[in-house]
């Protein structure tokens, strides 16, 4: 502990403090056995298993995965990327919610102020918008990857069905967010989009009416889309995501190798 | 014996008392070691250490061979005297049913909880109760009365199985259900010496009580292999998104105005393919058949329509071709809608008439 002259050097002090911090009861209580951040972690097959098994992560991942599934070239990580994008969208979306009021009078001004007056407002808005586009794209590509691998074949049929629901929800999320800036682009793109929904036979007009809270886009539509966008649809999506991930594991992990 | 809770002991004692026609208190005292052992009646089957061969053979069969569909468990004929013993004081108590069954040789299969520690194939099934000392660590004391043995086994299992102590090896510690069949040493009356009457009690499908994963697969640890990849992907997508967001500015056009319809009016790009279709066909057709039927229902039905079990690309040329046509079609329609539709949603050349795609209105934007 002591250097040549009998005094405790700075480096030793730092090491000591560090050891104390990471060895404290508090730190010990946060990190479960096997965490690589834990003091004295050593790399061993047993500890590698513990990293997953002893952590909340175990809800998502098994201890071991098929070797080919880890290769980037197999899944292209597209499902994972869709999920990451969803997380990024949630984070940036919460930020945006602090500055946005879903009313026809204020919505546009809020977005304008957000892009000019708020620190990082413009960046976060851009991230939210482009992230949404990227997510639609990556979910679609994920579906294509799954198709080309025939990964929907037994026992994974139902997970494909869940996937189609996820795609549909993703599109709806993106579409409902589209209206919120309440500018000309939002208003008319949503008008065109909901008109298309109106062409669906039998239920089309009812669906359109329910979506718009009326026969055409109005101030009530804005509130409706807002609630759908920030609460209802994400809630449903998360439930289906949970089922989706659960089924990936229970259907025997990633499909293949081809 | 010290660990067994009073209530359990009592239930065992009640069962035994009923079978032997003795007062419960006496049996209980004996079980607790407070009274001298009761000499068993000569016609009463004396529990013997359960055979391990049945259990072991079943495990082995199930472990090594998937072909073995069923294991036949045969137990000895129930001795007749068991029926005749006078009902003890606790005879009416319904919950002694299991123990009572356990007293006679036909014991119910006790199912161990399935503890899944990983997705690994079950490699070392822990022996069921009574399989003496073959690694299960829960071999029952052989001399114990069968009722007590089964009762304790049933109660013991969850705790000994659930502590996860063997989980560290990464392999599962799934359990096999085992059949306890304490067998009387004394053959039932009326049977000639040395002849064992056998009776088929039940047919147990090996699959029903345990899952055996057939081929071992080549696996790697999730940490670090998969998780580092995921972390890399997370960083990459975040980086891409941040760069994109710094470079490309989101559009914000004029405030919404119900009286000024922009020309052209376009749907968001992921619906532009549809809008494109709608411009060719009668809306009732394009808006009906194409998106709803193929789009949602059709896609959901894919796994049920495609009956071809192979995942090899060379075996599924048709499916691949079909999807590729769909992809190419969707991409073409979307790109067409984005770039080649100008005023009045009429055909236009992007290089001549400009691009009408407001999403990327502020294409490059440095702040
Ligand atoms: C919000 C959208 C979605 C998310 C976040 C998501 C996420 C994931 C993830 C993380 C996986 C693990 C393997 C991989 O990364 O490729 C996966 C697998 C799978 N996904 Fe998705 N997914 C989504 C949408 C879809 C869609 C639209 C479909 C199909 C219509 C689909 C069908 C499947 C199937 C069948 C698997 C199993 C693939 C295999 O075992 O190889 N998912 N999904």
The answer to whether the pTM exceeds 0.80 is no
Residue A152 CA: which ligand 1 atom is closest?
35
Question: Is the pLDDT assigned to residue B145 strictly greater than 50?
Answer: no
Smallest Cβ distance to A64: which of B120, B304, B310?
B120
How many domains does chain B fold into?
3
pLDDT by 10s per residue, chain A, length 258: 445 566 678 888 888 887 788 778 888 888 777 777 777 778 888 888 888 888 777 888 888 888 888 888 888 889 999 999 999 999 999 999 999 999 999 999 999 999 999 999 999 999 999 999 999 999 999 999 999 999 999 889 999 999 999 999 999 999 999 999 999 999 999 998 888 877 777 777 888 898 898 888 899 999 999 999 999 999 999 999 999 999 999 998 888 776
Domain boundary residue among B146, B169, B203?
A: B203
B137 in the same domain as B88 = yes
Q: Is residue B213 part of a domain?
A: no
CA distance A7 to chain B (A): 41
Question: Rounded to an integer, what distance in angstroms lies between the CA atom of residue A111 and that of residue A113?
Answer: 5
DSSP A39: T
B219 is a domain residue: no
Residues B7 and B128 in one domain: no
Whether B6 is in a domain gets the answer: yes
Predicted pLDDT at B31: 78
pLDDT of residue B188: 53
Are B56 and B199 part of one and the same domain?
Answer: yes
Residues B20 and B79 in one domain: no
φ, ψ at A183 (rounded to 5°): -105, -175
| A174 Cβ inside 6 Å of ligand 1 | no
Same domain, B189 and B323: no
Best of A43, A44, A49, A76 to disrupt the B interface (most B CBs within 10 Å) is: A49
Same domain, B143 and B235: no
Q: Report CB contact under 8 Å: B287, A183.
A: no
The three-class DSSP label of residue B265 is: coil
Per the prediction, chain B carries an average pLDDT of 64
Band of residue B152 on the pLDDT scale cut at 50, 70, 90: very low
Measured in angstroms, the CA of A243 and the nearest CA of chain B are apart by 16
Are B222 and A185 an interchain contact pair (Cβ–Cβ within 8 Å)? no
Q: Tell me, using a 6 A CB cutoff, whether residue A138 lines ligand 1.
A: no
- Nearest atom in ligand 1 to the alpha carbon of residue A75 is 16
Rounded (to 5) percent helix, strand, coil in chain B: 45, 5, 45
* Contact assignment for B251 to A185 by CB distance below 8 Å: yes
The conformation of residue B34, written as its DSSP 8-state character, comes to S
Q: Nearest to residue B136, comparing CAs of B150, B149, B148, B153?
A: B153
Ligand 1 atom nearest residue A82's Cα: 5
**Structural domains in chain A, sorted by start:** 10-60 (no CATH), 76-250 (1.20.810.10)
Q: Are residues B230 and B260 in the same domain?
A: yes
Decide whether any atom of ligand 1 lies within 6 Å of the A80 Cβ.
yes
Closest CA to B154 of B210, B97, B211: B97
Give the span between the Cα atoms of B202 and A252, in whole angstroms.
Answer: 31
In-domain check, residue B214? no
Q: Do A64 and B119 touch (CB under 8 A)?
A: yes
What pLDDT digit, counting tens, does each position of B179-206 carry?
A: 444 554 555 566 566 666 777 777 776 6
Tell me how far apart the alpha carbons of residues B222 and B224 are, in angstroms, rounded to a whole number: 6
Instruction: Judge if B229 and B348 occupy the same domain.
Output: yes
The pLDDT tens digits for A78-134 are 999 999 999 999 999 999 999 999 999 999 999 999 999 999 999 999 999 999 999
Give the chain A residue nearest B257 (alpha carbons): A184
Question: Which residue, of B136, B168, B203, is where some domain finishes?
Answer: B203
In a domain, B218, yes or no: no
Among B220, B240, B252, beta carbon nearest to A181: B252
Q: Residue B106: which domain range?
A: 46-203
* B208 in any annotated domain: no
Arithmetic mean of pLDDT over chain A: 89
pLDDT digits (tens, 9 = 90+) for B322-354: 999 999 999 999 999 888 888 888 888 888 887
* B12 occurs within a structural domain: yes
Same domain for B66 and B153, yes or no, is: yes
Instruction: Examine the domain organization and report whether B107 and B163 are in the same domain.
Output: yes
Question: Would B211 be classed as within a structural domain?
Answer: no
Q: Verify that B106 and B230 share a domain, yes or no.
A: no
Q: Are residues B59 and B183 in the same domain?
A: yes
CA distance B200 to B204: 11
């Amino acid at each position: 502990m002591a250097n040549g002259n009998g005094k405790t050097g700075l480096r030793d002090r730092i090491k000591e403090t560090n050891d104390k911090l990471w060895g404290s009861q508090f730190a010990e209580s946060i990190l479960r056995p096997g965490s690589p951040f834990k003091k004295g972690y050593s790399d061993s097959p047993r500890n590698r298993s513990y990293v997953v098994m002893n952590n909340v992560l175990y809800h998502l991942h098994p201890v071991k995965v098929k070797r080919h599934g880890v290769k980037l070239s197999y899944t292209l990580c597209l499902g994972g990327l869709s999920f990451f994008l969803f997380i990024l969208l949630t984070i940036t979306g919460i930020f945006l919610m602090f500055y946005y009021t879903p009313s026809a009078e204020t919505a546009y001004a809020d977005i304008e102020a957000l892009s000019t007056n708020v620190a990082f407002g413009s960046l976060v808005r851009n991230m939210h918008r482009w992230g949404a586009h990227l997510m639609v794209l990556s979910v679609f590509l994920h579906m294509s990857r799954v198709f080309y691998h025939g990964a929907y074949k037994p026992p994974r049929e139902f997970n494909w069905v869940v996937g189609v629901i996820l795609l549909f929800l993703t599109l709806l999320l993106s579409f409902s967010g589209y209206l919120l800036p309440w500018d000309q682009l939002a208003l008319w793109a949503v008008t065109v989009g909901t008109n298309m929904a109106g062409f669906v036979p039998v239920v089309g007009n009812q669906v359109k009416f329910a979506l718009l809270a009326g026969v055409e886009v109005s101030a009530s539509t804005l509130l409706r889309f807002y609630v759908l966008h920030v609460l209802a649809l994400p809630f449903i999506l998360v439930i289906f995501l949970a089922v989706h991930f659960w089924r990936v594991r229970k259907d025997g992990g990633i499909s293949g190798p081809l | 014996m010290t660990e067994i809770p009073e209530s359990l002991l009592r239930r065992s004692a009640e069962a035994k008392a009923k079978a032997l026609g003795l007062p419960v208190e006496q049996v209980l005292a004996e079980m607790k070691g407070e009274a001298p052992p009761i000499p068993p009646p000569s016609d009463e089957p004396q529990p013997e250490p359960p055979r391990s061969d049945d259990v072991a053979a079943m495990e082995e069969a199930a472990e090594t061979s998937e072909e073995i569909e069923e294991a036949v468990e045969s137990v000895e004929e129930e001795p007749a005297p068991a029926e005749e013993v006078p009902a003890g004081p606790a005879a009416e108590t319904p919950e002694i049913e299991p123990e009572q069954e356990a007293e006679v040789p036909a014991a119910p299969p006790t199912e161990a909880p399935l503890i899944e520690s990983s997705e690994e194939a079950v490699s070392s099934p822990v022996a069921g109760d009574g399989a003496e000392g073959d690694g299960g660590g829960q071999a029952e004391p052989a001399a114990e009365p069968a009722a007590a043995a089964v009762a304790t086994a049933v109660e013991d299992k969850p705790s000994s199985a659930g502590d996860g102590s063997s989980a560290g090896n990464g392999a599962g510690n799934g359990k096999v259900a085992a059949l306890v069949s304490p067998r009387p040493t004394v053959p039932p009356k009326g049977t000639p010496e040395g002849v064992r009457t056998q009776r088929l009690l039940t047919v147990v499908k090996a699959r029903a009580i345990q899952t055996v994963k057939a081929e071992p697969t080549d696996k790697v640890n999730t940490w670090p292999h998969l998780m580092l990849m995921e972390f890399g992907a997370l960083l990459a997508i975040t980086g891409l998104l941040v760069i994109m967001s710094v470079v490309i500015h989101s559009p914000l056009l004029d405030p919404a105005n119900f009286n000024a319809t922009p020309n052209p009016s376009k749907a968001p790009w992921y619906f532009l393919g549809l809008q494109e279709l709608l411009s060719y066909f009668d809306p009732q057709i394009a808006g009906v058949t194409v998106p709803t039927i193929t789009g949602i229902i059709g896609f959901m039905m894919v796994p049920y329509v495609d009956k071809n079990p192979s995942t090899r690309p060379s075996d599924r040329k048709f499916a691949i071709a079909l999807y590729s046509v769909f992809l190419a079609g969707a991409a073409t329609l979307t790109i067409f809608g984005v770039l080649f539709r100008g005023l009045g949603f009429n055909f236009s050349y992007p290089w001549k008439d400009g691009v009408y795609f407001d999403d990327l209105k502020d294409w490059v934007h440095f702040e």
